[in-house]
Amino acid sequence: MISESIATASGLTPEQMRMVELAQQGFHCSEVLMFMGLEAQGKENSDLIKAMSSLAGGIGFTGETCGALTGGACVLGLHAGRGRAEDEEDLRLKTMIAELVDWFSTKYGEKYGGVLCRIITEDDPLKAPERCPRIVVSVFYKVKSLLAEHGFEWTGPR
């Protein structure tokens, strides 16, 4: 596959290349993460991606909680959340989200002084392209790790 050769040549994994492609198409942190989660399950859901846009830029570009963090929590919910009345609540979801928030707060909250988008980017639009892609990739791999640790498969249907 051509994108895999480009990824190898650029030092990026195919997953990272896909995230770059999505970002180049204008998708933001939370949207990219959900695209990745859906694609791993062999699904498409443009309505869900549209809903995820509300989390980008710190909840609708207000600078509030980082969209990579909230988007990552949503991807965990894609795997462990309830979608129908007859679905049982999976208590692992709360545990995974708590672990994600703790990890993010330690890794990025301590580094930048908080988990708000405006704090991470210092309210400087030039800082976002410098910091955000690395954060999105890092959250992506943390989400995959949490899912595996708690007995969920990243790929295939739920």
The pLDDT tens digits along the chain (158 residues) read: 334 444 455 789 999 999 999 999 999 999 999 999 999 999 999 999 999 999 999 999 999 999 999 999 999 999 999 999 999 999 999 999 999 999 999 999 999 999 999 999 999 989 999 999 999 999 999 999 999 999 999 986 65
Residue 133 CB burial class (10 angstroms; 0-12, 13-18, ≥19): middle
User: Nearest CA to 67 among 96, 124, 29?
Assistant: 29
Would you state the pLDDT for residue 125?
Answer: 84
Amino acid at site 56? A
How far apart CA 26 and CA 36 sit, in angstroms, is 15
How far apart CA 4 and CA 10 sit, in angstroms, is 10
Separation in Å, CA 26 to CA 3, 20, 81, 98, 139: 19, 10, 27, 29, 19
How far apart CA 143 and CA 6 sit, in angstroms, is 25
Token digits of residue 37: 């989660």
DSSP 8-state secondary structure symbol assigned to residue 108: I
Amino acid at site 54? S
Would you state the pLDDT for residue 158?
Answer: 59
Would you state the pLDDT for residue 81?
Answer: 96
- If you compute the radius of gyration of the chain from its CA atoms, what whole number of angstroms results? 15
